[in-house]
Every structure is written in C-alpha cells, then in structure tokens.
Copies of this chain bind each other. A is one copy, B any other.
Amino acid sequence: MDQWWINGRASRHVDVSDRGFTYADGLFETVAIRAGTPRFLDLHLDRLLTGCGRLSIAAPTRARLAADLKATVRDIPHGVLKVFVTRGPGPRGYALPDSPTTTVAWGTGESRAQPSLPIEIRWCETMTSANPATAGLKSLGRLEQVLARAEWQQPEIAEGLMLSTEGQLVGGTASNVFLVTGDRLLTPVVHRAGIAGVMRRVVVEAAMGAGIPFLETQLSPADVRNATEVFVTNALTGIRPVRQLGAQNWGTGPITRHLCGLLFAAGVGECAGQS
C-alpha cells in the first residue's frame, strides 16, 4: 500500500491503544480499484456496516465514507483499497469504552492488471475456528489465516483450502470456494466459520440471476474430491478456476466459464479469457 489516511487525514499512525491493535476489535475490507473507482463499493459497505452493527461499533456515516473513498481512488487506474474500522482507542481491559470513538482508516496501492488464470491449490493443516459470534465477519483477527498461508512457500501454489475445527470445508486462506457437483453450484455456509465474501455474493447473485441451481450448505473434503468444477473467489481476483489440488486435476468447466462471462460483463475484468 502506498498511501494511508487515518480518520480522514494523511497518516500512517495508529494509536497503540487503538482496540484494533490491542484486541483485533474491528473490521476491514479489501476493495479492488478499477478505472479510478472502488469496485462493488456498495457491497463492501453493506458488509462493513452490517459488521459494525453485529459488533456494536458506532458505524461511520455511509454516504460520507463512500464519498471519501471514491475521492481517494479517483486517480488510480488499477489497484487496491483497504478500509479499516475499529472501536478506536480505549483504556486497558475488554470492557467497551464509555465513549468510544470509531477509528476509520484506509490505504491505497497501485497494481498491475492481470487476468485470473486457473490455479493450483493445496490443503492447509491449520484449521479455521468455528464461532457463530464472529462467523461471516471480516474481522481483524486473522491469525489462523496467517498460519495457514505460512504452510507453503512454493510460488506455483496460489491458495490453500481450510477446514473448520468442526471438519467442514470453509474456503481458501484469502478466498471463498465454490464447487460444481451434478450441475449444481455449491458453496460453504458462513454461519459458523468463514467470511461472507463480496465476490462470493457477486457470484451467488450472478448464478441465481442466470438460473444456475445453487446451494449454500455444509461441505466436506469429500465434496471437493467429488466436484466436477472447483473455483475460488475474492474481491481482487474475481473467479480463479482451480486446475490442480494434490493429485487431482480439473479443467475449467462450463458453469465456471458461464459465471466468468457473467462477472466479466458485471465489471470483473480479470475474468477475461475464462469464458
């Protein structure tokens, strides 16, 4: 990231007593910048402000935040916007501060446009916690994902799949996962573990709009083995078809190609070439 703003001012300094730092008491969003615009900003703000509600963090004003973020990325042709909202500085102890002042921080970085090609993935041994209190949220506590991502260094492995401590398929370290089985699109529920990804939502809405049979459900490692198509999604890369997982190989199947085409039409340029 190249530039940062904290509570509207150009700065890189977070107060050491900020509960985002001391307790991971906050949320974040990772937004693709495309042609000077924060892509799917409304969906990101939906999730961010819903998350504030679930955590009882005083949410920033949506219209004001949206305007600020749009202004920030106006001159960036292609890149990444990260947005943080925390409960703000506070005294020691888990109890909520009497008068918390929400911290809103964001940063931008430029990146190079590249199509999302089929990837090789692996299984991670590190599991994701299952907890309905925080499931679905993109909260700041991501140590499990850090440990999972640290399991491999090979550059040819693009992502690792994680199971929950309850043995269910959750998704990639930094992505949601979709399977196709018997012409039906499947993705793990995020009621007990995982993150309700914005690109996941875009894919689900595209699938439902196109009449592709879709089910959000509990899935297991066996479901991955039995799938005829596998792909992962995140806000920065759209759909990435999975071509290899261990000894198993997949082509980019018809439903994946169909969805890539729909996403490309919806502005997800990195899905070019898959449809």
Contacts and interface: CB of A to CB of B under 8 A. Distances in A.
A145 B23 contact: yes
A187 interface: no
B129 A130 contact: yes
Determine which residue in A1, A25, A80, A94 has the highest number of CB atoms from chain B within 10 A of its CB, and name it.
A94
Contacts of A14: 13-16, 18, 21
A57 to B, nearest CB: 10
A12 interface: yes
Nearest to A93: B174
A219 interface: no
B95 A150 contact: yes
A147 to B, nearest CB: 5
Nearest to A124: B133
A133 B150 CA distance: 13
A131 B170 CA distance: 14
Interface in A8-24: 11-24
A127 interface: yes
B146 A96 contact: yes
A105 B22 CA distance: 11
A93 B142 CA distance: 11
Nearest to A192: B165
A228 interface: no
Contacts of A23: 140-143, 145-146
Contacts of A176: none
Number of copies: 2
A225 B28 CA distance: 40
A127 B165 CA distance: 14
Contact of A22 (B12, B13, B28, B147): B28
A171 interface: no
B150 A96 contact: yes
Interface in A60-85: 80, 82, 84
Interface of A: 1, 4, 6, 11-25, 28, 30, 55-56, 80, 82, 84, 87, 91-96, 105, 107, 109, 126-134, 139-150, 165, 173-174
28 contacts: A1-B91, A4-B17, A13-B15, A14-B16, A16-B107, A18-B21, A21-B21, A21-B140, A22-B28, A23-B145, A24-B141, A24-B142, A25-B143, A30-B92, A92-B109, A94-B149, A94-B173, A95-B149, A96-B146, A96-B149, A127-B132, A128-B131, A130-B165, A132-B165, A134-B144, A134-B147, A140-B143, A141-B143
Q: What are the 8 A-B residue pairs with the smallest beta carbon separation, nearest first?
A: A141-B141, A129-B129, A24-B24, A94-B149, A13-B13, A23-B142, A24-B141, A129-B131
